[in-house]
Structure 1
Amino acid sequence: MSGFGYRISGGTATRVAVKEALSCHADFVWVHLNTNEEHAQVWLRDEAGLDDYVVDALTASETRPRCEAFGHGALLNLRGRSSEEMSSGDPLASVRIWAIQGRVYSVSRRPLIAVAEVEKQVEGGHVVDPGDLIAAFATAITSDLDPHVADLGDELDDCEERLDANRIFDLRRTVTRVRIAAIGYRRFLSPQRAALEKLGTLPGGWLAEDDRRHLAAAADRAARMAEELESIRERAALMHEALTDLRAEQLDTRSLVISIVAMVFLPLTFITGLYGMNVADLPYAQEPWAFDAIMALCGGIAAVVVGYFVQRHWFQK
C-alpha cells in the first residue's frame, strides 16, 4: 500500500512505513495514503479502527471541498495542484483528512504537490499536533495555488495588450484556455474557503488558537483567489467578445473589398462578354480602332465607379 507515516514525540518526527505508524506510542501520529486501492479501506477500518462513514469519506472517488464534524474529530476535504496532469474540468487533486486528538489520517488518490511541503514542516519540527498539520496543509495548498492564479491574470493582461486583428486565432486560444482554467479553479476554491472557515470555528482542544488563525488566513487567501478568478473569468468573457468583434470587423472589411472589386468589374464583364459573342454584324467589329475604343471605354467606366465609391467614403471602412 503506497503511503507513509510520521510518529512525533517531543517535537521530533520519525518517518515510518504505514504498517509501523500505529505500532508504537507517540504524542502525535500522521498517516498519509496515496492510493486508490480497495485494501486501503480495509487498513483504515481494521488497523486504524475508523468508523465506516469516515472510511467511505476518505476513499470516495468523487469529492468536493467540505468540512464536517464527526464525533470528537473532523473530516476535511481540500483540493490542490497535483504533479500529474489533470483534466481541464477537474484541475485540482483532492486530499481527504480525518483528524482527532493525537491522530491525523490523510488520503489522496493523486500525488499532491502540497504534501512535500507539509512533510518539510513536519520534519522541521513545526508540526506537533493535528491542528498544526491541518494548518500546514491549508497554507501549503493555498501558497502553491496563489502564483498560478496570478499567472492566469498576467496571461490575460498580456492578451489585452496584444489585442490585434492579425493575432485573433492565437489570442482566442489563450483566452479560452485561461477562462477554462479559471472556471475549474474557482469551482473548488469557493467551497474550500467555506470549509476552512467552518473548521476554524469547530470546538475541540486539538485546534489551538494559532491553528485557527492560520486557518483563517488560508481561508482569506482562498477567498481572495476565488474573487480574482471570478474577475479573470469575466475579463476573459469580455476579451472573447472583443476578439469576436474584431473578427467580424475583419470579415466586413474583406467583404467590402470584394464587393467593390465586383462592382468595378461587373460593367466591364458585360461589355467584354457582349463583344465576345460569335455573331455577325457587331458594331465596329471590322474597324481597326475598335479594340482601343473598347479598352478606353472600360477604363472610363472603371474610373467612374471607383470615383463614386471614393466620394461615398466606402474606402474608409
Structure 2
Amino acid sequence: MASQRLAKKADLCQGLVVEIKAYLIRKDGSVDDINVEKLSSLLPYDSTDSFIWIRLQDKPAAVAEWLRHHTQIIEPTISALSAVETRPRFQIIDSGALINLRGLGITPKDDPDGLISIRLWVEHSVVISVCFDVLAANNSIIDAMNKGAIHDPGDLIALIAEKVSDTLDPVVAALGDRVDNCEARLSSDDAWEMRRIIASVRSQAISYRRFATPQRQALETMANSHLAWLADDDRIHLHGAADCFARMAEELEAIRERAALLHEQLTDLRSEQIDTRGLLLSIVALIFLPLTFLTGLLGMNVAGIPYANAPWAFNGVIAICVLIAVAITLYFVQKQWFRR
C-alpha cells in the first residue's frame, strides 16, 4: 500500500497542463458555461446575483501554478489545495473557507487511499474545486446543477457533501452484507476462501473509516459556522450528511470488529479440523498397533511358532485380529473419542 501511494504521488507531480471547467451559476438556478480563455478576465469575481464555480482537475503542480497566476489566493491555501496527501477538514481563512472532503472514486480498486479527495476554496461569489481523480458522484452533481438545484455556494457545498455520502453509503452496506454472508455460511470447509474475503472486507473498512470520522467532524464544524453564503437549509443538509458519515463510521467500526471475530472463529474451526483429523489418525494407529505386533510376532521366520502347520491357523489369526480391532474400537466409542 505504501509503495502504491508513493508511486501515485510521483505520477501526480508530473505534467503542467491543467484541465479547467467553469460555470456561471445564477440565483434563479440557471447555468452558463464560461469560456476558459475569458475566465481570467472575470477574476476576481464579485456579485450578489451569481457565482462562478471553477473545476480544476489535473496534476498538483499544474493546479498550483494556475492558482498563483489567475487568483489572489494566498500561498498557504494554494499549498493546501494542491497537496497530494489530505484529510477531511474545514477551516475559515479570511473571507473564504478551505474545505477538504473525501469520496468514492470511479476506480476504487486503483485508489491507494480508498477514497479520493476533493479540495474546495469557497467565497461568497467564487467556488474553486480541485480533484486529481474523478469522483463517483461527479455526474450526479453536474446533473443537479443543470436542473437548477444550485443557487448559491452553500447549495453547491451541501450538494457535494450529500452526493459523496450517497455514493459511499451503499458501498459500506455491501461490506456489511459480505460479512453477513460469511457469518451465515461459517464453516471450516470454506475456511481459506472465507478468510480471503474477510481480509479484503476488513482492509476496505479500515481504509474508509480512516476518513469517515474526520469528515463527519468537518461537516459538523462547517454546518455550525457563521458564513454568509451558508443558508439555514444548507446547514440542515450538511448536518444530514454529517449524520450519515457518523452512521457509516459506526458501521465500518462494527464491520471491522465482526471481521476480526470471524477471522478468529475461522482460525478456531481450522485448528479444530486439524485436531479432529489428527485424532482420527491416532485412533487408527492405536487400533492397528497391537495387530501389527501380533502379525509381526507370528511372521518371524523362526522355528517353534505354535500351530504353524494347522489348517485353521490362518483363519484363527484373522479372527483374533478382528476381535482385537472391534474391542479397541468399542473402547474408544465408550470413551467418546470419536466425538468432535
* Superposition TM-score, scaled by structure 2 size: 0.87
Q: Residue 333 of structure 2 corresponds to which residue in structure 1?
A: 310
From 4, 7, 12, the counterpart of 2:30: 12
From 149, 165, 189, the counterpart of 1:126: 149
Q: Residue 63 of structure 2 corresponds to which residue in structure 1?
A: 40
Distance 1:86 1:235 in 2: 23
* Paired residue secondary structure (2:241): helix
Deviation at 1:271, TM superposition (A): 2.0
Matched, 1:171 2:171: no
* Change beyond 3 A, Cα 1:19–1:64: farther
* Change beyond 3 A, Cα 1:274–1:28: same
The one-letter amino acid of 2:84's match is S
Q: Residue 3 of structure 1 corresponds to which residue in structure 2?
A: 20
Unaligned residue ranges in structure 1 (runs of 5+)? none
Deviation at 1:143, TM superposition (A): 0.7
Deviation at 1:85, TM superposition (A): 3.5
Q: Residue 243 of structure 2 corresponds to which residue in structure 1?
A: 220
Distance 1:4 1:166 in 2: 54
* Paired residue secondary structure (1:78): strand
1:131/1:211 contact within 8 Å kept: yes
Deviation at 1:307, TM superposition (A): 1.3
Distance 1:314 1:119 in 2: 68
Distance 1:290 1:129 in 2: 105
Q: Residue 99 of structure 2 corresponds to which residue in structure 1?
A: 76
1:18/1:31 contact within 8 Å kept: no
1:21/1:31 contact within 8 Å kept: no
Deviation at 1:205, TM superposition (A): 0.9
Deviation at 1:183, TM superposition (A): 1.3
Q: Deviations over 1:206-239 (max 9, x none)?
A: 1112111111111111111111111111222222
Q: Residue 99 of structure 1 corresponds to which residue in structure 2?
A: 122
The one-letter amino acid of 2:272's match is E
Deviation at 1:19, TM superposition (A): 4.2
* Change beyond 3 A, Cα 1:85–1:148: closer
* Paired residue secondary structure (2:107): coil
Q: Deviations over 1:88-140 (max 9, x none)?
A: 86211110111111011111111111222221122112212211111111000
* Paired residue secondary structure (1:294): helix
CA RMSD of aligned residues (A): 1.9
Q: Residue 231 of structure 1 corresponds to which residue in structure 2?
A: 254
Q: How does 1:113-262 map to 2 (within 5 A)?
A: 113-262=136-285
The one-letter amino acid of 1:13's match is V
Distance 1:48 1:74 in 2: 15
* Paired residue secondary structure (2:22): strand
1:6/1:21 contact within 8 Å kept: no
The one-letter amino acid of 1:56's match is S
Distance 1:108 1:53 in 2: 18
Distance 2:121 2:305 in 1: 99
2:26/2:152 contact within 8 Å kept: no
* Paired residue secondary structure (2:41): coil
Identity %: 47
Unaligned residue ranges in structure 2 (runs of 5+)? 1-17
Alignment: residue pair count: 317
Distance 1:125 1:153 in 2: 36
Distance 2:301 2:295 in 1: 12
* Superposition TM-score, scaled by structure 1 size: 0.93
Distance 2:140 2:38 in 1: 23
Q: Residue 12 of structure 2 corresponds to which residue in structure 1?
A: none
* Change beyond 3 A, Cα 1:203–1:118: same
Instruction: Compare 73-82 and 296-305 and name the one that shifted more.
Output: 296-305
2:88/2:214 contact within 8 Å kept: yes
* Paired residue secondary structure (1:204): coil
From 306, 313, 317, the counterpart of 1:294: 317
2:105/2:111 contact within 8 Å kept: no
